[in-house]
Chains A and B, each alone.
Chain A
Amino acid sequence: MSLLEVRDLIAGYGPVRVLHGVTFNVDEGEVVVILGANGAGKTTTLRALSGMIPAKGVVAFAGHSIVGWQTDRIATAGVGHVPQGRGTLSDLTVHDNLLLGAYSRRDRAQINADIERWYAIFPRLGERRMQAAGSMSGGEQQMLAIARALMSRPRLVLLDEPSLGLAPIVTQELFRTLGDLNREDGVSMLVVEQNAGLALGIAKRGYVLEVGRIVVSGSADELAHNDDVRRAYLGI
C-alpha cells in the first residue's frame, strides 16, 4: 500500500474549482515530482493535501483518510510541508524556527541533537542561530524552511517550488541535499517544481498536471525522455 494515496481530488478557492479529480500516489521512501505550468494546480494540490483549503475526494495517508482534517493535525500525523514563499517565521530566531518544527515531538534530548545535525548540514543556519529568521537571504530561508519541516521527523514532505527565487548554484546544492536526505533518512517527498531537470534528477517517478488534471505519468526517466514534457518543461 502507498504511503500517500490520492484519488479524484477536487479542490479550489471559493466558487473557483482548480483541481478536477487528481489521482496519484507516493510510496514509502519515494521522491515523486509533479510538473506543470503556472496555474495548473500544483500549489493547490499541496494546499489541499495539508488541509489548508477544503477538498473532496480520497486522500489516504499511512492508512488514515485525512480529508477534512485540520492542518495542524495533518502535520502532527507526519506530513511536513515547505510552503511556497518558505513560510518563514520572520520575528523568531533561526533556533526558535527549528524548535518550532519539533512542536509535535516530546523527546527533548533528541530534538536538540536534530537541531545540531541541521546546523552541520546547513552551516549558515548555525552561524545565524540567534538571528531573526526574516533577516536572512532567500536561499538561507529556504534551507531553514526545509530543516524546519524535517524537524518534525515527518514520513512525507511536501515541497512547493523549493527553487523559486534562488540563484541556480544555490538551487543545485539544495536539490543535492534533498536527494541525500531522501537516501539517508528514507523520508518520502512530493516535490512540485518549475525546474523540471533538477527535480527529475532526484525523483523516482513523476506526473504532469495540466489545468487541474494529471495528463502524463511515468518514471522519472520516461518523463525526461517524453517529447511533450521535454518541449514544455525542460526547454529542449
Chain B
Amino acid sequence: MSLFLTQLMNGIGNGAVYASLALALVLIFRTTGILNFSQGEMALYSTYLVWYFSNRGLPVWVAILLSMTLSFIGGAAIERIVIRPVERASPLVLVIVTIGMFLAINSIVQVQFGADAKHLTRAYPAHVWRPGNVQISADTLVLVGILILECLFLYLLLQRTKLGLGVRAAASNPESSRLLGVPVGRTLMFGWGLAAALGALAGSLAIPASQPALSAASMQSILVFSFAAAALGGFDSTIGAVVGGMIVGVAQTLTTQYIKALSDIVLVVPFGLILVVLMVRPQGLFGSRHVERV
C-alpha cells in the first residue's frame, strides 16, 4: 500500500510538470487557435538560459526569474515575427511553422550552448519526507505548489483583470474586439509571452527533478506527455490541462511500477487511455464543443 501511495505521489509530481507545460499549450491554443509544437523547445531554450546565468554565478531562483522575463520577451517576439505573418494561413501551414520552430530552436540550443550534457542545479535542496511509509519528495511538493500558484495566477489574470478580459475577447472574436478598441495584436503577443514564461518555469524545475542532466533532448518526452495531457483534458480548457496532466503522470508511474511487461514502453497506457476518452468525447474531458445560436 505504501509503495502504491509513494508511486501515486511521484505520478502527481510528474503530472504537475505535464500540466504546467499543457497550460502553456492551452493558453496559446485558446488565444490564437494554434497547436504550438515548439512549446517544449522554447522551454528548453529558457532552461539553458537558467543554466547559463547560474553558471555565471547568479543564484538559481534569480536565474529562473531572469530567464522567465527573457522568455516572455522572446515569446512575444516569436508571435510578432514568426506567427503574425501566417496567422490567417491554414491549420496545416501553422502546424508546419511550429514544427519548423521546434527544429530551429533545438538546433540553436546545440549551436549556442554546445551538444554536451549540462549539470543544472536545483532551485531547492532535494529532500524526501516519510510520513508513515510513504515517500514524498521535495520535488513533488515544489512542482505541485508551483502548479497551484500558476493556476491561481492565470485565473486571476484572465477572469479579474482588464488585460485578461482583452485576451479572452481577442480569443473569442478578434475582429469584434478590435471594433471595441482592444489592441488584438498586442494581446496575442502577451499570450505567447506568458506561455513562454510558464514554459520556462516548468522546464527549469522539471529537468533537474527528473533527469540526470540537461541536454538538447530533455524536453522532448515531456512535450509528448504534455500534448497528451492537453488532448485528454481538452485543448481549450485550463482545468482540463491540469486534470489531464495528473492522469497522464499517475498512469505513467503506476504502469512502470506494476506492469513490468510495459515498463519499457510506458507510453502505451496513457495513450490507450486517451484513445478511449477521445473516442467517447472528441473534445476532451473538459473541452467545449463550440455551441452558438445564430
What residues of chain A have their CB less than 8 Å away from a CB belonging to chain B? 50, 52, 70-72, 75-76, 80-81, 83, 87-92, 96, 99-101, 103-104, 134-138, 148-149, 152, 165
Contact = CB atoms under 8 A, between A and B. Distances in A.
B165 A104 contact: no
Contacts of B181: 72, 75-76, 103-104, 152
Nearest to B176: A87
Contact of A81 (B179, B184, B288): B179
Contact of B178 (A72, A80, A136, A149): A72
Contacts of B175: 52, 83, 87
A148 B173 CA distance: 14
B143 to A, nearest CB: 30
A90 B180 contact: no
Main secondary structure of the interface of B (DSSP, over half): helix
Nearest to A76: B181
B179 A92 contact: no
B172 interface: yes
Nearest to A141: B293
Contacts of A89: 169, 172-173, 176-177
Interface of B: 162, 165-166, 168-169, 171-173, 175-184, 288, 290-294
> Taking each of B177, B180, B182, B293, which has the highest tally of chain A beta carbons within 10 Å of its own beta carbon?
B180
Given A89-B172, A92-B169, A138 B293 contact: yes
Contacts of B171: 91
A96 B168 contact: yes
Contact of A88 (B168, B176, B182, B184): B176
B230 to A, nearest CB: 18
Nearest to B166: A103
A83 B168 contact: no
B165 A50 contact: no
Nearest to B170: A89
Contact of B165 (A87, A100, A136): A100
A5 B90 CA distance: 39
Contacts of A96: 165, 168-169
Given A100-B165, A103-B166, A137-B293, A91 B180 contact: no
B176 A135 contact: no
Contacts of A75: 178-181
Contact of B293 (A72, A99, A103, A134): A134
A14 to B, nearest CB: 13
Contacts of B179: 50, 52, 71, 75, 80-81, 83, 87, 149
Nearest to B162: A103
Contacts of A52: 175, 178-179
Contacts of A76: 181
B289 to A, nearest CB: 12
A71 B170 CA distance: 13
Nearest to B183: A72
A199 to B, nearest CB: 21
B173 A88 contact: yes
Contact of A134 (B168, B169, B292): B292
B172 A135 contact: no
> Taking each of A50, A103, A138, which has the highest tally of chain B beta carbons within 10 Å of its own beta carbon?
A103
B51 to A, nearest CB: 40
A149 B162 CA distance: 17
A136 B294 CA distance: 9
B293 A136 contact: yes
Contact of A92 (B162, B172, B288): B172
Given A87-B175, A91-B172, A92-B169, A101 B291 contact: no
